[in-house]
Amino acid sequence: MGITTTHGTHDTRSAEILTHEVAKQSRNYFLQNFSYKIKVGTTGASAERAFDSAEDYLNTYSSDLLKAHSSLAVIYVTDEDEQSAVSVQDHLQTLLNYVPQSSKVQVHAMINPLRDADSKYSSITSQTGGVFEDVNGDFAAKLESIGESIIDSLDLFSLSKTPVLSTLKVYVNSELKQKDVDWTYDSSKKAIRFQVAPPLDSEIHVHFIPSP
């Protein structure tokens, strides 16, 4: 996990101490560090460029955060407009460049809805199946909602085209998986949903005839 600010001041140590390994060793230590690191203050620059900041952070620290089969979740927390020059679509494409498939990116936002003038946050969360929350209120409950959405996304494998359902065949590490036992098709997300998420380094192949 990495933490940065919407005006580009990166926390260089967050990627080192907010890791899965640290959380396994000591949950309390991980939570203590997270609680400290997330309090970045309210005295930053007036021009908040969250998209630019996230791209710069990933360009600098992605090798520390992401592996070949990693998923990427980006969470924006702010009460100001997003003022980067980059468009939503260009920003989304930059994020997609870090993962092997589109279903492995989710963008979430806890913001002041009245300050989403260009709908940049609401648009990118909607396109990636993320959670869009008001930054005011119970921060812990809203963060928990985002966490549940991230966990739920781990068992999805998106398809590039809509399939003819009867032709779908799903293989994990060359083993044919059974429909309705090991997986189902989620038409709303155009994705395979596994009953149990495959191990991290699994090779997943889906064969099908595209719907005309």
| 3-state SS track over 102-156 | HHHEEEEEEECHHHCCCCHHHHHHHHHCCCEEECCCCHHHHHHHHHHHHHHHCCE
**Span 104-132, pLDDT tens digits:** 899 999 988 887 877 899 999 999 989 99
Which residues on neighbouring strands pair with residue 76, listed in sequence order?
109
DSSP type of residue 80? S
**Span 62-117, pLDDT tens digits:** 888 888 778 899 999 988 889 999 999 999 999 999 988 787 899 999 988 887 87
Note the Cα 87 to chain centre separation in Å. Answer: 18
What per-residue confidence (pLDDT) applies to 136?
87
What per-residue confidence (pLDDT) applies to 44?
59
Coil/strand/helix, residue 200: coil
What per-residue confidence (pLDDT) applies to 120?
94
What pTM does this model have?
A: 0.74
